[in-house]
Amino acid sequence: MRDLLNHADLAGYAGQFVWLELSYDAPENRTFLTKYGAEATPTFFVIAPQDELVTAMQTGAMSLEQLRQFLDRGASGADARSQTPADAALMRGDKLRAQQPQDAVTAYREALRLAPANWPRRQLAETSFVEALQDNSEWRLCAETSATKAAHMTRDDLFARMVVGGLWCLVSTDRSPWSDVAFQKLQPFAEEALALPSTVRDHRDEIYRTLMKLSVARNDNAAAAKFGDRWLAELDAIKPDSDEERSALDIARVESIQTFGNPERILPALKASELAMPNNYIASLRLAQMELAAKHLDETIAACDRGLARSPGANGRPWLLQIKAQALRQKGKTAEARRTLQEALQAAQEIPNQGSRNMNVHSIKKALQQ
């Protein structure tokens, strides 16, 4: 996604916005992240400077075409005169989405009610509606709406987003007769989305992983393994042209194995990446995670130590220490594991984001009590 923001085709937008990038890790961004409710990455906002109100918001990856549409929508949203009532309701939904998903659902529903027959943003509004239902934990309506609307959509990147939204809602709920029906309807659409050249890597990742989760929930491990193999084969076929892309591929590998699969399958790629990126602590961390999953305890500890020597920062340090403590405990080195957890607890106090900090402190304290 970050490569996309440097795409030469966006040059026409250079003078139309002030461009701001905010790292989730940086303490100075905490006020913004809290105020605007950014709870996922990547998240994109267009903000009008006069009142600091959001005129467009999108969570998750976009294709180049979607990004262009998002920028156009954001720019026109800042100029209320160019809006139809349906556009205004769509913009209202975007504004509300991060912090008031229930009201966002209402706004998107209103946008669709007000939309003229030939409204060019209908598919966007339908997709945003499903995503807001997901945000609002309305799993059944989300999945069923996704399955119904996807059937009639143009096969493009919004179609893929619609399918992704529906699949996540199915993953989020217990298996039931209605969810089985919705899964049967959505699975062919998922395959269609995977066959589309416009489906970006982040969405392919989400489709494969949700299909794996849904297969496991239906006791079909063979199907989960097949989806995992397909995704890992796709990732292996990509030759990274930068460290950024190498990291992206490795993250996808790890997430795939964390969903279902044998960690041994991806260890060679992760070891190669750690060597190729000698200053990147996350490469060591990813390797440590998978060494631990493969029960290679000495290798886990060694990878954590290498990561800790690579300036891991406020988020990385407690994370590495917790992985190391798990490996030490599994080796029977209880006292050393405890010392490492105490070190992790101290490091966790420095995590800038309050939610992450609290979650880490809680889980480390819980581990210390065991």
Partner 1 sequence: MKKLALWMVPLALIAAALPASAAGLSWIKDNYSKALAEAKQRKLPMFVEVWAPW
Using only C-alpha atoms, what is the Rg of the chain? 22
CA dihedral in degrees (207, 126, 19, 9; nearest 10)? 70
Residues 134-193 that bind partner 1 (CB under 8 A): 134, 164, 168
Residues 264-303 vs partner 1: string with x where CB under 8 A? ----------------x-x--xx-----------------
Max Cα-Cα span within the chain: 68
CB of 233 to partner 1, least distance (A): 17
Q: Concatenated DSSP letters for 148-209?
A: HHHTTS-SSHHHHHHHHHHHHHHHTS---HHHHHHHHHHHHHHHHHHH-TTS-HHHHHHHHH
Query: Pick from 221, 355, 362, 365: which binds partner 1 (CB under 8 A)?
Result: 355
Query: Among 19, 174, 369, 370, which residue interacts with partner 1 (rule: CB under 8 A)?
Result: 19
Counting contacts by CB under 8 A, is residue 352 touching partner 1?
Answer: no
User: Among 252, 328, 348, 364, which residue sits at the site for partner 1 (rule: CB under 8 A)?
Assistant: 252
CB of 78 to partner 1, least distance (A): 4
Of 19 and 335, the one with the shorter C-beta distance to partner 1 is: 19
CB of 324 to partner 1, least distance (A): 14
Residue closest to 296 by CA, chosen among 259, 334, 270: 270
Q: Is 361 in the site for partner 1 (CB under 8 A)?
A: no
Residue choice 2, 113, 175, 365 for contact with partner 1 (CB under 8 A): 2
Closest CB to partner 1 among 88 and 114?
88
The one segment of 54-62, 84-92, 143-151, 295-303 that binds partner 1 by CB under 8 A = 54-62
Residue 74 CB, nearest approach to partner 1 (Å):
6
Amino acid at 310: R
User: Residue 54's beta-bridge partner residues?
Assistant: 47
**Binds partner 1 by CB under 8 A, chosen from 231, 319, 321, 347:** 319
Which one among 181, 238, 309, 359 touches partner 1, defined by CB under 8 A?
Answer: 359
Regarding 254 and contact with partner 1 (CB under 8 A), the answer is yes
Q: Rounded CA gap, 60 and 42, in Å?
A: 5
Of 94 and 115, nearer to partner 1 (C-beta) is 94
Q: Which of 88, 225, 251, 272 binds partner 1 (CB under 8 A)?
A: 251
* CA distances to 28, 92, 185, 198 from 60, in Å: 23, 19, 24, 15
Instruction: For residues 130 and 256, give the distance between their C-alpha atoms in angstroms, rounded to a whole number.
Output: 24
231 and 204 Cβ atoms separated by less than 8 Å: yes
Q: For residue 27, which phi and psi values (nearest 5 degrees)?
A: -60, -35
User: Based on CB atoms, which residue is closest to partner 1, 75 or 217?
Assistant: 75
Nearer to partner 1, 261 or 316 (CB): 316
Burial class of residue 234, CB neighbours in 10 A (0-12, 13-18, 19+): middle
Q: Binding to partner 1 (CB under 8 A): which residues in 204-223?
A: 205-206
